[in-house]
Amino acid sequence: MFNVQLSFTNTTIFQFSSSFMAQHHLQLAATSSHGWLRATPSDAHSETSVDKRWDSLAFNPVKTDYIYVMKSCKDGSFSNGGLRQYGNIEISPSAAVLNYGQGIIENLKAYKNKNGSIILFRVEENGLRMRVGADRMCMPAPTIEQFVEAVTSTVSANERWVPPSNKGFLHVQPLLMGNGPVLSLIPAPEFIFLIYVTPVRNYFEGGLKPINVVVENDIHRATLGGVGNIKAIGNYAGIMKAQAKAKANGFSDVLYLDSIHNRYLEEFSTANVFIVKDNTISTPVLGRTILPGITRKSIIEIAHRQGFKVEERLVPVEELFDADEVFCCGNAVCVLPVGSITLNGKSYITIYVKWCATELPERL
């Protein structure tokens, strides 16, 4: 059995208390420039009105207090970013992101620990992944240091929206998009880096219970030579039809196969896939179609330390039905067991993971 104990020595886990938050807010206010609105430690919002919402949280956007915005310079660097009140942003009708899909997203979480401190996990990994994706999409990107500072500033300014440890988490969504106007198929002349946050609960309606999935035979989430291995914004609209059909038929999610042989496992809609057989954990090998998930990377490191053999390889779909355990992982879903798999109209019950996924947020 694969038993997750999250502990990392070669990574950064940001943890800050309310006193740090207040100090950080004051520093932001003191260094205000370039017209950005800055958060202060006494924004006079009603905490009671927020507290009442925790029990009704779902995975839907909630209007919070502040967003972070930073624009690119002519040389491709980013500077003069800062916080501003949550609200709409201006964008040209001929913006590259609207007309040609030149955009990248990231996502991560902020958790509140039992002692009240707020934790961010492996933020620098998200910053690095955005830079890799931006290079593929002919976009400049903030440095990793700028990315980390922007995330921590945005979470700090929206501290009151971080749910208690047993009520959910703060979803953090960085975006990088071509905002400058274009007509020809060329990179945008200007780019915007933006972060918004929203309190959410579980990605699936069933919470952390085992999910039932269907294997998709016709629609593919990525093709060789495409952008399936980065978080390009256009990757997700193409699978909405398969996702909607699956939901209508009572499934939790869709598992996609490769576009060449229609046989090898790729990913779920928003998560990587793992199968466990005896002492071996297998997952599709990274390449031009598989997203390098940060949770995926962490699980592989944990598995190695627990003595498992880890195989990153082509995984035929038929191995799902001979596995001891099948599970998915990703920022939004965390780590979830798969309870049943349906292929070509026939359902198979899997022996799902027995470790307590509900403890994972506290360990992150």
Catalytic site residues? 231
The answer to whether 187 and 136 are in contact (CB under 8 A) is: no
- State how far the Cα of 26 lies from the Cα of 159, in Å rounded to an integer: 14
Of 108, 84, 137, whose CA–CA distance to 295 is shortest? 108
SS (H, E, C) 80-120: EEEEEECCCCCCCCCEHHHHCCCEEECCEEEEECCCCCEEE
SS3 236: helix
Contacting residues for 111 by C-beta, under 8 A, at least 6 apart = 118, 119, 121, 162, 165, 169, 170, 361, 362, 364
What is the rounded (10 degree) CA torsion for 11, 297, 123, 135?
120
